[in-house]
């Protein structure tokens, strides 16, 4: 169950990287926040942090200038790639 959900979220993150669709960001965030796992889980922690961080993504260049905590597509991609790398390392460890 858990791995199936994680795989869906990883696919969604890769789709965000490819297509830069804002709607996919909201979809990712909602799916993460709907996960009902009670035990501590490293992958869920990474996904939750990323979902929170993505609230600060701002595609509009003018709005981006209004708050230094907002970030653009370049930072969005960097954040997602870093999270995916961490998740892949954790999942690889679990398989070994």
Could you tell me the CATH number of the domain that includes residue 65?
A: 1.20.120
Q: How many domains does the chain have?
A: 1
For residue 28, give the 3-state DSSP assignment: helix
Domain enclosing residue 13, as ranges: 2-95
List, for residues 62-80, the tens digit of each pLDDT value: 988 889 999 999 999 999 9
Structure tokens at 93: 């460890």
List, for residues 40-58, the tens digit of each pLDDT value: 789 999 999 999 999 999 9
What's this model's pTM, rounded to 2 decimal places?
0.87
Q: Map the chain to HEC letters.
A: CHHHHHHHHHHHHHHHHHHCCHHHHHHHHHHHHCCCCCCCCHHHHHHHHHHHHHHHECCCHHHHCCCCCCECHHHHHHHHHHHHHHHHHHHHHHHC
């Amino acid at each position: 169950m858990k791995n199936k959900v994680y795989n869906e979220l990883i696919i969604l993150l890769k789709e965000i990287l490819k297509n830069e669709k804002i709607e996919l960001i909201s979809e990712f965030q909602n799916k993460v926040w709907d996960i009902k796992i009670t035990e501590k889980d490293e992958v869920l922690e990474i996904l939750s942090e990323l979902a929170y961080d993505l609230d600060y993504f701002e595609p509009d260049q003018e709005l981006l200038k209004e708050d230094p905590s907002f970030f653009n597509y370049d930072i969005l991609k960097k954040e997602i790639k870093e999270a995916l790398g961490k998740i892949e390392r954790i999942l690889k460890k679990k398989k070994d």
